[in-house]
Amino acid sequence: MNLLLDEIARATARLADAGAASPRADAEELAAAVHGVKRAELHTVSDGAFDARFWEYVARREAGEPLQHITGRAFFRYLELKVGPGVFVPRPETEVMVGWALDTLRDMDVQDPLVVDLGTGSAAIALSIAQESPRARVHAVEKDPTAFVHATRNIEDLDERGQVRLRLDDFGTALNELNGTVDLVVSNPPYIPMSEWEYVPRDVRDHDPADALWGGGEDGLDAVRVVERTARRLLRPGGHVAVEHSDLQGNAVYWVFAEENGWRDVRNRRDLTNRDRFVTARLGTD
């Protein structure tokens, strides 16, 4: 049997004992990163090419360090992003919201849609929209300097058509020059209330940046309220917004987008596990 595959099996058992949610996938991803191959190519690594640094990576994952911080990369839709300490690691749940955003852009009768991503982090959302909607012009806003560095690197590497413009700014006040002209606003803001601290997985609360997790206010939705106000300012009449939330906040976020503030067609939408995950709304034309 291939030596590396044997070692992956041993590592899987260690990570399972440590409580990793996906021990086999983690072990394979660590091995692929160390040996410079894709997971599907692990069987091609010869016994003589085995790199003992694999076990250093496994020990770090056992200790609770996020997989993506160890490998330095995260996969999101069709992208391979550079990530690390100081930037939020994008989650698969957010891919569903991006899918809705892309479908919405396709349905718009707009030749070159204008999109804003508030709190871009690694730029996962902004780059996915740019890659999959080639005529979109995307403005990405990030206020944290460390996350901004990661976003800059990813945009330089992946934005082949130059569609994404990155702004270091607070998403509550950014982009006043675009007021009333934007077709779509999308955001995965911080939304966890501090009262939920003990229930957040250790590798998340200890390693993801605090500003990307804790939303503020008793219900954790202060940042979502800022997104609502900013979206209302930026969108043209008939423009759309999508904002992510936890699976327990759907009803509360629904009411943030109140009809008296001009919002129409407010809907709570579900992720691939059939849990409430993001709210969408359209700014009224009346």
Residues annotated in a binding site for S-adenosyl-L-methionine? 142, 171, 188
Active site residue 76: no
Cα dihedral: 57, 44, 80, 100 (round 10): -120
Among candidate residues 189, 193, 257, 278, the one labeled active-site is 189
Active site residue 88: yes
Among candidate residues 66, 188, 193, 257, the one labeled active-site is 188
Specify the pairing of strand 235-244 against strand 164-168. unpaired
Among candidate residues 54, 76, 88, 257, the one labeled active-site is 88
- DSSP letters along 113-168, please? -EEEEES-TTTHHHHHHHHHSTT-EEEEEE--HHHHHHHHHHHHHH-TT--EEEEE
Question: What does the alpha-carbon distance between residue 284 and residue 206 come to, in Å, rounded to a whole number?
Answer: 41
Active site residue 189: yes
Binding-site positions for substrate read 188-191
CA 3 to mean position of chain CA atoms: 35
Cα dihedral: 182, 231, 207, 202 (round 10): -130
Specify the pairing of strand 137-142 against strand 164-168. parallel
Which residues carry out catalysis?
88, 188-189
